[in-house]
Amino acid sequence: MTKLAPQADRAFDHYIKNLESGLDWQPRVSVDAGTVKIVPGATESLVVLDGALIHDWRAAVVAPRARIEKLIALLQAYDGYPRHYAPQVTAAKVYSHEGNIWRVFLKLYKKNVFTTNLNTDYDIEYRPLGPSRWGILSRSTKVAEIDDGRELPVGQGHGFLWRLNAYWVLEQRAEGVYIECRAISMSRDVPVALLWVVKPMLISVPRESLQDTLEATVRALR
């Protein structure tokens, strides 16, 4: 067990502030229909902090023959997430919804070297960007690990996920819907003694989770 250091939490906020100040909502990844392509979200996909790691990945795919209206409806149907995004999402509910602003709960599950269950809350904003284009900002407001059936205080636990933000660009194209998601997460770093066991998992899980999310979205649109 470990605790999230306040300076790491502040560093993540600073990283997000810089990222959001430069958002231009333009597609960044060239893709072929039906194939997910993943690239680092910034110059490097991993930022090392004092006791924590920031993971920054960008992924994109074109859902063939899909319509953007159906995609928006799918993404906003949060009660369907445990079905569409299983096994990553095991429960979901909407706290509130007013216009394009949503407050949402998702229970997350991940099994790699370790099994992790998390209660997570998000503020989500849908932004119309023009004809047949949307942007989505999803900001985590709570990430709490569940240990032996008990929710731990925020910032305590194994530290496989401390924070998670996502920025989506959706665009209707002739061949289907272009879907791009940039996911920025923060996890713990690990002691040298555990480096060979844990660090590869900490680095690979954010990338794999992002790929799984886009692949599941394309499947659900079919």
Picking from 101, 99, 112, 115, the residue whose alpha carbon sits closest to that of residue 203 is: 112
Q: Looking at the domain covering 2-20+50-221, what would its CATH class be?
A: alpha beta
Report residue 111's pLDDT band, with 50, 70 and 90 as the boundaries. Answer: confident
Report residue 113's pLDDT band, with 50, 70 and 90 as the boundaries. Answer: low
Q: What would the two tokens of residue 159 be?
A: 């530290």
Q: List pLDDT tens digits, range 169-222.
A: 999 999 999 999 999 999 988 654 555 555 666 678 899 999 999 999 999 999
| DSSP notation for 156-204 | EES-S-SEEEEEEEEEEETTEEEEEEEEEEEEE---GGGHHHHHHHHHH
